[in-house]
Structure 1
């Protein structure tokens, strides 16, 4: 989708600041002392599993819930005590929430007419042009596809020129192909209109594809925040390493090192990690590497200061998924290890039951802040996620 310039929607959004926000329900704390600043004009994603507090945060910003403690500032103005309709905020929901008896144009113009904004119809047409749907302005929502309905919902929100646009799992009802298309379109529209977008999702691909900044939430707090590539390449905790993509994690003991590199002991095998990529440099730590960084070999590689080598392990699963083959290797001391090998040659590198060694460049290793991890639970979780990953690719 190509977005043309539309001067009517060039106003920038506003900073959003949450100061010491807590939300407690009877017997349950959803958010605990959350401090967060989202710069004006940015596309910001709150990413996390169900129950982590991300949707509660969105509802607090929208005014649908009241915080137990703390303040919400929008453009420097305290909006904590304002009712939802008095906040310069609009929300796009997963369910679209369009009026079925109204035309597409009437749906988009509805909010403007309620607020008695001049030229509501003209502004609604401009918003529909922005999402490339002005040609269906006279149709009813039921006559549109799911993706088109979501674009109408977006146009209805953008036409009000909110200081902040909230996206509550907006693509969850779409199929995989359409979801990926809409990810790109939403990002383009956000860049065009310049509004501040706060996107709440449990889908890591959505967050990484669209957002400038991602905050990974867990149990009512932010575990880590940064650019998508930063979080992926350098996670700081076991939770982030496993929630944002897949990781192979090894419980090790620090055994020395240099100014540049930490050497650790993994059951008698050395695993090195750059000091700049490790949260800790002494005692019992957890180090990790992403599955696509690993090289699988049927023969033990030569020792090399630039590469880590572990093994032998046993191949317990081989799954061909087109562009790559996913291997699960049972490695003593850490359980299931995932390897994603790009298919550069005909046929798999290894077969089920083969004895293999795994190696990777030292600079791809990261060290986490967590003391230890439950390798049994990790093995089960990785196996489950590998199956889920293959199922998603098959959609």
Structure 2
């Protein structure tokens, strides 16, 4: 059987004016969203942002407070979960331990008295390359194999829409990356509409055609992964989808196609076309891998921005790159990623350095200026950096 014959054609998903309130709080304020048929769509955001609630609303496991849900143009808002052309793959897999792999995949079809249930189950297992172990039980499988069985069980029902709720969260890093690629390949082969909920930025960017970054029950920005990463519109997106160096300053003029922003007495240029706001106080930024570290003041160039001198307050080796934290008076702490193409780090802890980057790599945010994090760091990273900075300051004062 041809792969295209395996599943029904994916369907559009439309959420119109969706709101979901629980006692004491609102999970989703107002959500309008259209996901085209056959696409791989990711809802990305931190815990509590509303992404799982959105998935449960689509699946029929929750009812919206107001708004409509349409699948393939049909309003399913008041349709029960089992009557919707939707299947969900959960992080827990939820396989029946007393059944074989084949029996797990065929279970739903047999309950609906589908005539060729076993044959279709074998086809689904062939698609995920597990038909050769169809007689094993779930406990005899690895985590990755169990995940693929759960996927086969969902696909075999030929849903118009497949929902993935953190499906790779229980896997180790290496297997998770392998399964990201396999899931994307399977989605392209069967042509279903996949909606994937995750808090893992790399997972969303690796697998999805379109990513919607959610925050506090609303979508902050939506687009292709490379678009969101290269040109974030808000500080939340800039720091949740990767890491960013952000600066606040006043627009003091223009130079050609660029705005000039005063950052602690230094004029930083950002392309006008890549800036959301063009007057007054603004927030601008640059990704850490675009920043170059120098042990001497770089030559002045019209197409590059430069800051310094500053002090290296943390050095972290990660294999392919080294991460530096550089404290620049007035500008704050900058994060720099340097590829390890030579021997050892470019600069050591406490070294005096300068940083620069190409003007074309900068971006301007829509946010009102305020207290903004220079980069996104978890508590442990921030704590270590503070401790090392204090130790370095004390050492320099003694010297």
User: Would you call these one fold, judging by a TM-score over 0.5?
Assistant: yes
Q: Deviations over 1:64-123 (max 9, x none)?
A: 000001000000000000000000000000000001111000000011111111200000
Secondary structure at 2:270's aligned position in 1? strand
* 1:273 maps onto 2:270 in alignment: yes
Partners in 2 of 1:256 and 1:240 — Cα distance?
A: 27
- 1:392 alignment partner in structure 2: none
Contact 2:334–2:375 (8 Å) recurs in 1: no
TM-score by length of 2: 0.93
Partners in 1 of 2:19 and 2:145 — Cα distance?
A: 37
- 2:377 alignment partner in structure 1: 382
Structure 2: which 5+ runs fail to align? 384-399
Structure 1: which 5+ runs fail to align? 389-395
* 1:330 maps onto 2:327 in alignment: yes
Partners in 2 of 1:209 and 1:295 — Cα distance?
A: 26
TM-score by length of 1: 0.94
Which of 179, 183, 186 is residue 183 of structure 2 equivalent to? 186
Contact 1:338–1:382 (8 Å) recurs in 2: no
Partners in 2 of 1:89 and 1:52 — Cα distance?
A: 23
Q: CA deviation at 1:12?
A: 2.0
Partners in 2 of 1:123 and 1:163 — Cα distance?
A: 17
Q: How does 1:231-270 map to 2 (within 5 A)?
A: 231-258=228-255, 260-270=257-267
The root-mean-square deviation of aligned C-alpha atoms, in Å, is 1.5
Partners in 1 of 2:375 and 2:183 — Cα distance?
A: 35
Number of residues of Structure 1 aligned to a counterpart in Structure 2 = 383
Q: CA deviation at 1:335?
A: 2.7
- 1:361 alignment partner in structure 2: 358
Which of 82, 89, 98 is residue 101 of structure 1 equivalent to? 98
Q: CA deviation at 1:10?
A: 4.9
Contact 1:47–1:202 (8 Å) recurs in 2: yes
Q: CA deviation at 1:332?
A: 2.2
Q: CA deviation at 1:302?
A: 1.6
Partners in 2 of 1:71 and 1:87 — Cα distance?
A: 14
- 1:132 alignment partner in structure 2: 129
Partners in 2 of 1:170 and 1:257 — Cα distance?
A: 48
Partners in 1 of 2:379 and 2:38 — Cα distance?
A: 38
* 1:151 maps onto 2:148 in alignment: yes
Q: How does 1:1-395 map to 2 (within 5 A)?
A: 6-258=3-255, 260-375=257-372, 378=373, 381-382=376-377, 384=379
